[in-house]
Amino acid sequence: MSEHHAVAHHTEAHAHGHDHHGHDGHHELGFIRKYIFSEDHKTIAKQFLVTGIFWAIIGALLSVLFRIQLGYPNADLTWMKPFLGKWITEEGQIAPEFYNALITMHGTILVFFVLTAGLSGTFSNFLIPLMVGARDMASGFINMLSYWFFFISGAVMFVSFFLATGPASGGWTAYPPLNALHDASSGGVLGVDYWLISMALFIVSALLGGLNYITTVINLRTKGMKMFRLPLPIWAFFLTAVIGVLSFPVLLSAAILLLFDRNLGTSFYLDAINLAGEPLANSGGSPILYQHLFWFLGHPEVYIIILPAMGIVSEVLSVHSRKPIFGYTAMIYSLLAITVLSFIVWAHHMFMTGMNPFIGSIFVIFTLIIAVPSAIKVFNWLTTLWKGDIRLNPQMLFAIGFVSLFISGGLTGIFLGNSSIDIRLHDTYFVVAHFHLVMGVAAFFGMFAGVYHWFPKMFGRYLNPTLGYIHFWGTISAAYLIFYPMHFEISLPRRYYTHSGFETFSDFAHLNAFISTVAIISFALQLLFVFNFFYSIWYGRKLRESNPYGANTLEWTTPLRPGHGNWEGDIPEVHRWPYDYSKHGRDFIPQTEPLSQYEIEHGEHGDEGDRDIIKKEEDENHKG
Amino acid sequence: MAVSIHKRFIVHPYKFNMWIAIVSMVMIFAAFTSAYVVKKGDTKTWADIQLPQIFTLSTIVIVISSLLMHAAYVSFKKGALEWYRGFMTLTFLAGAAFLSMQIQGWYTLVAQGVYLTDNVAGSFIYVISGAHFLHVAGGVIALLVFSIRSFTRYQASNIEAMKDTTINVEVMATYWHFVDILWVYLFFFFMLNR
């Protein structure tokens, strides 16, 4: 036993010795070190969250603007002229170049700044040390750098909005040749350079964050926290980081080559181009090469977005249905399978590039195989809910909403994954509906579930539940009202500035107006959430108990407002998996509680344990 | 149980961080070199470029620098301060020599008529060796810091203090061996894929 103790102490010293912030020798830090250049993972998580919210508002606002254009193409927007200047034409319309910039920046901001940095950055930072039982990340300094690289990346992107020629406008994928030429579009003059530099900084941020997450999960788990005792969010964050570390560098390479093509005259992606009737000197390059490099990141990126949401939802569903997560190990293996498969499906974004149909069919097969682990996860979430003692609080509603959206959006993925059908559906609103449901709104729901669930741990107060209910029911209705009809716009090409010039598209005018109206209402609902968020930080109902939900995981063993170092005394030791809910007649058994004499840990003898043993134990308790 | 905890700490978190960072750097160069291979496969005008002689020399220099780095690490661990100072400074000098040889190599390429924008083959050589150059330059700056500190921070009187910072030298050595192996890979890659 003494040996155990010595080792445990050694671990703590290791975990923290290099950070100069020992929990014992706690000295008050100044405002700047405490709130701005903080190395505390909890503060960094909040920085990521607030920055993510900022970007979410901007990104959503952009979508409102282009939805106005799509839904009400003839509306007079002269009143916006004071804000948007020349981006509103003389006739009071959104300028076509501006429309392109809007959709480009909407995609970029939501995919990278909100659903990667805002989601992964927030919850990986906040939960990994708290849930694995560590004082902080492996390196607090690198963690801090990760946030500030993200901040600078955002600043560069933000500045690009104010360029005279506008921000990048060639789509969030920044395909060459359009984005490789300065004179092919107004956003291409300078905006794309800002975009590329911003992305490069963002990649550095994602890598610095990711390597910390991986190292912390592998190296700094508390005593007894085996990999197969980790809560599912941690598995999800861990694998998300693995995907990021392997795929983001490839995007960096792609971006560097594109920067060279744009500014130094190389021809990596350019070949035989005429611009405004004049042939360019470039030869020997291939735009398809960029697409391969881009989607080698781009596809894993969607799993970078969805895996953390999956992990959060698994935890919330289990805690608030007072039942063990169904199929814990199957969940982990599904996450692993998704991680591996995510790297060998990228070309399903490129069926239209004229690729060899045989190669295409290989990518079809892998794409369809990914549906298997996804379906296993859906099954397990539903069976976790089955006969649960369900608490329908906002976080639970958002978690259930996630499952609903993931199913609805996932089903259309099976259509799109088939190359023969995809050739018909490619670049239509069917695709837009698919990915917004399955990884856009669904990931947002996972994020909301996480915010509502861990808000008390983050800020020591609760979010207002009434506003939460309004937020949930409004948002889920809006999500379906917006994206369900889009599935019928199967012949409507995406990214078009206007559909009013084509007789064949005129049937959709009313539908588009309807979608746009709902989108605007939905935006207002999100502002309600933002209000709730900031109001509750200062004025919400106070958290008075350390474990308000009766959850098993370690973050609820910390003090109400944990300081840097998380636990005041020793880090608690872990003795069991995190999902012992409603076991042996008890509501919940925290991970820190040792197994009782006859108890068998989950996974060692089937999920339910041995009836005889349970009986023996009950008898024993009765006597004692 | 105790054993398994010890096992986890066979790798120090800092070093583990470096390994994962190396994985991501490997991915950068994997992307570059696979782009090179793909491009070479579908371009009819691929130029056959003779690598400058000095790249062979710079390869030898960086391999030697890696050996020096290891010697520095070993002497640090033994607490042989004088040897550590010597080897660390030599590693730094070898690294700096490598950088200047790379620059000379680029001049030679230009003299051969290989320009950045002329042919994709040449563009790739400049971009890939340039990206590697930046990685080495970062390492050389770190080596300079280590060399200076070997004189300022450690004295024979506080040899014990050295022991606590072994991990820093270890991480430095890990990185330096990585950029060394990376260059050897790139060198042979360029040679075999002309």
DSSP B118: T
**pLDDT at position A470:** 97
Lowest mean pLDDT among A328-332, B116-120, B133-137: B116-120
Torsions phi, psi of A167, nearest 5?
A: -75, 175
pLDDT digits (tens, 9 = 90+) for A26-58: 566 788 888 888 999 999 999 999 999 999 999
The average pLDDT across A66-81 equals: 91
DSSP A275: E
User: Within chain A, what is the greatest distance between any pair of CA atoms?
Assistant: 94
Nearest by CB: A265 against B9, B45, B117: B117
pLDDT digits (tens, 9 = 90+) for A325-351: 999 999 999 999 999 999 999 999 999
User: Has residue A67 got a pLDDT over 50?
Assistant: yes
**Domains present along chain A, CATH in parentheses:** 30-539 (1.20.210.10)
The closest alpha carbon to A213, from A252, A247, A243, A253, belongs to A243
Nearest-angstrom CA–CA distance, A234 and A216: 10
What percent of chain A is modeled with pLDDT above 90? 76
A23: confidence class by pLDDT, cuts 50, 70, 90:
very low
pLDDT digits (tens, 9 = 90+) for A85-124: 889 998 889 999 999 999 999 999 999 999 999 999 999 9
Give the helix/strand (H/E) hosting B162.
Answer: helix B159-164
Q: Do A265 and B9 touch (CB under 8 A)?
A: no
**pLDDT at position A601:** 82
**pLDDT at position A616:** 65
Nearest by CB: A211 against B4, B5, B17: B17
**pLDDT at position A623:** 64
Tokens standing for A565?
Answer: 């170092």
Query: Three-state SS for A587?
Result: strand
* Residue A88 contacts residue A82 (beta carbons within 8 Å): no
* Residue A449 contacts residue A312 (beta carbons within 8 Å): yes
**Considering only alpha carbons, which residue of chain B is nearest residue A136?**
B13
CA dihedral A276, A280, A282, A288 (to 10 degrees): 20
* Residue B187 contacts residue B91 (beta carbons within 8 Å): no
The average pLDDT across A280-301 equals: 89
**pLDDT at position B118:** 83
Q: Do B32 and A219 touch (CB under 8 A)?
A: no
pTM equals 0.91
Nearest-angstrom CA–CA distance, A456 and A536: 10
A4: confidence class by pLDDT, cuts 50, 70, 90:
very low
The average pLDDT across A64-71 equals: 94
A170: confidence class by pLDDT, cuts 50, 70, 90:
very high
B160: confidence class by pLDDT, cuts 50, 70, 90:
confident
**pLDDT at position A614:** 62
Residue of A136, A266, A288, A293 best to disrupt the B interface, most CBs of B under 10 A: A266
**Considering only alpha carbons, which residue of chain B is nearest residue A217?**
B13
DSSP A196: H
Q: Where are the beta strands (DSSP E) in B68-141?
A: none
Give the helix/strand (H/E) hosting A337.
Answer: helix A328-341
**pLDDT at position A21:** 41
User: Has residue B7 got a pLDDT over 70?
Assistant: no
What percent of chain A is modeled with pLDDT above 70? 92
User: Has residue A416 got a pLDDT over 80?
Assistant: yes
**pLDDT at position B6:** 38
Nearest by CB: B24 against A220, A249, A283: A249
pLDDT digits (tens, 9 = 90+) for A529-573: 999 999 999 999 999 999 999 999 999 999 999 988 899 989 999
Is there a cis peptide before residue A456, judged by omega within 30 degrees of 0? Answer: no
User: Has residue A16 got a pLDDT over 60?
Assistant: no
**pLDDT at position A611:** 60
Nearest-angstrom CA–CA distance, A364 and A358: 10
Residue A244: partners with Cβ closer than 8 Å, 6 or more residues away: A116, A120, A206, A207, A209, A210, A300, A304
**pLDDT at position A7:** 38
Q: Do A219 and B16 touch (CB under 8 A)?
A: yes
User: Has residue B125 got a pLDDT over 80?
Assistant: yes
**Considering only alpha carbons, which residue of chain B is nearest residue A203?**
B24
Q: Do B131 and A256 touch (CB under 8 A)?
A: yes
Give the helix/strand (H/E) hosting A336.
Answer: helix A328-341
**pLDDT at position B4:** 39
pLDDT digits (tens, 9 = 90+) for A429-481: 999 999 999 999 999 999 999 999 999 999 999 999 999 999 999 999 999 99
CA dihedral B165, B171, B173, B178 (to 10 degrees): 180
The 10 Å Cβ neighbour count of residue A531 is 12
Average pLDDT of chain B, as a whole number: 89
Residue B174: partners with Cβ closer than 8 Å, 6 or more residues away: B15, B18, B19, B22
Got the DSSP string for A83-146?
A: HHGGGB-TTS-B-HHHHHHHHHHHHHIIIIIIIIIIIIIHHHHHHHHHHHT-SS-S-HHHHHHH
A621: confidence class by pLDDT, cuts 50, 70, 90:
low
Q: Do B14 and A207 touch (CB under 8 A)?
A: no
Tokens standing for A623?
Answer: 């006597």
Nearest by CB: A215 against B13, B24, B124: B13
Residue numbers of B between 119 and 148 with CB closer than 8 Å to A: 119-120, 123-124, 127, 131
Query: Alpha helix locations (H) across A220-327?
Result: 232-263, 287-320
**pLDDT at position B135:** 97
**Domains present along chain B, CATH in parentheses:** 2-192 (1.20.120.80)
pLDDT digits (tens, 9 = 90+) for A212-242: 999 999 999 999 999 999 999 999 999 999 9
Q: What number of helices (H) and strands (E) belong to chain A?
A: 20, 4
Tokens standing for B110?
Answer: 């230009």
Nearest-angstrom CA–CA distance, B143 and B94: 10
Lowest mean pLDDT among A22-31, A350-359, A567-576: A22-31
Average pLDDT of chain A, as a whole number: 90
**Considering only alpha carbons, which residue of chain A is nearest residue B9?**
A219
The average pLDDT across B75-88 equals: 91
pLDDT digits (tens, 9 = 90+) for A499-513: 877 888 888 889 999
Residues linked to residue A88 through DSSP beta bridges, in sequence order: A94
Nearest-angstrom CA–CA distance, B144 and B154: 15
User: Has residue A145 got a pLDDT over 60?
Assistant: yes
